[in-house]
Chain A
């Protein structure tokens, strides 16, 4: 299975809501990532988990809270978001971190988030 799955595909939420995005991979990858992508822009890294521990936090506002319950799952908890947080949220995984030919990232299809 070389697939990264993400749920939900679409999410509409108000600024006072709490919601979660979910990501799953069964490739045995030990690194997982959250990216945010605005329309016609490249993905921007938010968080990196390596061996289930937070490795990189790109100064993301605390209204975004990542969680890695186990090596296959990655969640992104959302609370008190702003309309400017509306974007495509992409999850990815790779075998490991650091330079090397094994660091191809596999991306999920994304969750299209709209904050009203």
Chain B
């Protein structure tokens, strides 16, 4: 399988705290994307980082990419209950390959 691994598998935090999710992938990529999925629904694109970029910000999201280690991280700052969802990284080579996902629960 070309699937990436995400760590942790599940994360539970209090509202206002930061959440960090890590992703490792196996093959060379052109870019790495992060998606969010609410329970049983479609995925929503959050952010894309190109292979020649090291860090990218979008609102409360910060993504890093280390191509030498084939790894990426997603940081959500000042989390909210509405951030509760599954988060997937996806590496794009000739196709998009999703990681195993992190289930984030943000409690009030």
Contacts and interface: CB of A to CB of B under 8 A. Distances in A.
Interface of A: 4, 40-45, 48, 56, 88, 90, 92, 98-101, 103-110, 112
Q: Which DSSP category, helix, strand, loop or mixed, fits chain B's interface?
A: strand
Contact of A103 (B31, B43, B44, B99): B31
A23 B97 CA distance: 21
B42 A103 contact: no
A108 B42 contact: yes
B60 to A, nearest CB: 19
Interface of B: 3, 29-31, 33, 35, 40-45, 48, 50-51, 88, 92-101, 103
A48 B41 contact: no
Nearest to A104: B45
Most buried by A among B42, B51, B98: B42
